[in-house]
Structures are given as structure tokens and as C-alpha cells.
Amino acid sequence: MRRVWASLLLGTVLAAGCDRGSHPGNIDKPAPQFVMGDGTRTVDLSKLRGRVVVLNLWATWCAPCIEELPSLLALQKKMPELAVVAVSMDQDPDVYRRFLADHHVDVLTVRDEEQRVNALYGTVQIPETYIIDRQGVLRRKFIGAQDWTSSEITGYLAKM
């Protein structure tokens, strides 16, 4: 009887998780729109319509974010037709700007110290990256550091 209850409990936990992670409930729905400015740059997601958007939520103090950064920058160079947009949750503007300069970050990035974009997308851990198609529909979510130059990811993005 214990095994039956354990199996039921495990099944319930797994089923509850099906709407989380890389398959959130807003997949195949219009991506939440936002305009975010940090005094240096501004991102208006609606102005990127017509391009595939790789929306990366990150921070300078996040080790997995730093780990994936070189491949994210390489993706933008390899596929310039994409709009790679990075939204940082850093609090300190000086640390943020110094990080961008030190790491030669040349993708469109803004600092969102109030984490409004994170809340809008339901981001619970970083890095999280959302793929938005040319029509503004959310198609996929990646959690954790990725190799953005892998053939699986670049092949997926090329088909969009």
C-alpha cells in the first residue's frame, strides 16, 4: 500500500511540474510585451516584431549566466537576423556597466533592477531564456545555462 501511495504522490508531483520549467503555460501564446529602459538603452519588444527574439534574463552575479554568455554573444554574431535581448536584474548600475565593458557584451541589454520583466514572464531562476517567434508568440523556454551555438539550438532557431 505504501508503494501505491508513493507512486501516486510521485505522479502528482510530476504532473504538477508539467506546466513549469521549459513548458510554461504561456507557450504558444502572445509573449508579454514590455518597454524597458535603464537610462542607457531601451528595449521595446513590440518593435522587434518580424524578428525571432531570444530574450535572456540574467545577472552579473549569476555563475550560470556568465557561463553561457560567450555562446549567447556568438549566437548573435552567427545569426545576426535574430534579436538577442538580455535583461539584467542587477541592482548596481556601475557593476552592470563595468561587466558589460569587461565582457564586451554587444547584444541589446538593459538593466531591470525592479525585475518587472522577470515578474511579467514568471521567471523564478536565472538564467532563463525565452524564444519568441516573428509574430510575437512565445515558443520555447530554456532554464539554466545553454550552449547557444549548439547545432540543436541553432537548427531550431533557423527553422523559425
pLDDT tens by residue, the chain, 160 residues: 554 443 444 343 333 333 344 456 789 999 999 999 988 899 999 999 999 999 999 999 999 999 999 999 999 999 999 999 999 999 999 999 999 999 999 999 999 999 999 999 999 899 999 999 999 999 999 999 999 999 999 999 999 9
Q: Contact 121/57 with Cβ under 8 angstroms? A: yes
Check residue 1 and give its pLDDT. Answer: 53
73: Cβ contacts below 8 Å, ≥ 6 apart:
104, 105, 106, 107
Per-domain residue ranges for the chain?
Answer: 23-159
How much is the pTM? 0.84
CB < 8 Å & 24+ apart, contacts of 40-45: 40/97, 40/110, 40/111, 41/108, 41/109, 41/110, 42/110, 43/85, 43/87, 43/108, 43/110, 45/85, 45/132, 45/136
Q: At 80, is the secondary structure helix, strand, or coil?
A: coil
In one-letter notation, the amino acid at residue 34 is: F
Check residue 20 and give its pLDDT. Answer: 41
Check residue 142 and give its pLDDT. Answer: 96
Tell me 110's DSSP state. Answer: E
CA distance 87 to 118: 9
CA distance 76 to 78: 6
Fold of 23-159: Glutaredoxin (3.40.30)
Query: In 51-150, which ranges are continuous DSSP H helix?
Result: 63-78, 93-102, 116-121
